[in-house]
Amino acid sequence: AQKVTQAQTEISVVEKEDVTLDCVYETRDTTYYLFWYKQPPSGELVFLIRRNSFDEQNEISGRYSWNFQKSTSSFNFTITASQVVDSAVYFCALRQGDSNYQLIWGAGTKLIIKP
Amino acid sequence: DVKVTQSSRYLVKRTGEKVFLECVQDMDHENMFWYRQDPGLGLRLIYFSYDVKMKEKGDIPEGYSVSREKKERFSLILESASTNQTSMYLCASSLDRGAQYFGPGTRLTVT
């Protein structure tokens, strides 16, 4: 079965703290793609990153970094030195194979950054 | 930058009305999607389209239909709106099997 689990429903930290959002996925495919999206209070989903299953290199973009580990089926997202503007709901998603258009979505993690 | 626009941010309709939600993308993407998002239920796919005039049902197509007459435009139709269709509707587009890019959403209230 295909599934994406974001076990953390809500996380609250004080500004400037580092925070990691967990994402665990299940799939039988050897080819798949993983995504992270941000949904700020305005409601629009913003694409952050896409990773394919053959590329286990970690990615860093400014204060954001992603740790992809196939051995544990995880694709975790870390925000370093968090800021109030990072407050949002973050979704992890999975797309299987090369012939499937649909994304399987996690339930989302609400991140609250307190000033 | 990819731009996906939706016809309305907020919409209020009465039960039984026919409702059209329009979505337009300007990046020549083949694929377009309609989702609804409800608290506690996450994002659920209603329909998607991988080409003009082509459509596929998603997870919850009942009560909805779609139309894609032009590549850039994907419409979601509620033939007879009901209160349980009150929700946030999100449109997205993607190139091939790349990332989906979303519009700002339409918050629909059916009274």
Residue B97 is predicted with a pLDDT of 74
Tens of pLDDT along A8-43?
A: 999 999 999 999 999 999 999 888 999 999 999 988
Q: Across the interface, which of B31, B99, B103 has its CB nearest the CB of A101?
A: B31
Average pLDDT over chain B reads 94
Q: Do B104 and A50 touch (CB under 8 A)?
A: no
Minimum mean pLDDT among A75-79, A93-97, B52-56, B96-100: which range?
B96-100
pLDDT band at A100 (very low <50, low <70, confident <90, very high): low
Chain B positions with Cβ closer than 8 Å to A: 31, 33, 42-43, 45, 48, 50, 56, 58, 88, 90, 92, 94, 97-105, 107
Q: Give the count of beta carbons closer than 10 Å to the beta carbon of residue B13.
A: 16
Residue B40 is predicted with a pLDDT of 85
Strands (DSSP E) along chain A, which ranges?
A: 3-5, 10-14, 19-21, 24-26, 32-39, 46-52, 59-61, 64-69, 74-79, 88-96, 104-105, 109-114
Q: In one letter, which amino acid is B26?
A: D
pLDDT band at A98 (very low <50, low <70, confident <90, very high): low
Tens of pLDDT along B12-65?
A: 999 999 999 999 999 999 999 999 999 888 899 999 999 999 999 999 999 999
How close B55 gets to chain A, by Cα (Å)? 12
CA angle at B27 for the pair B22 and B28, rounded to the nearest 5°: 85
Residue A99 is predicted with a pLDDT of 62
Q: Do B99 and A47 touch (CB under 8 A)?
A: yes
Query: Residue B100: is its pLDDT beyond 80?
Result: yes
Search chain A and give the residue with CA nearest B100: A47
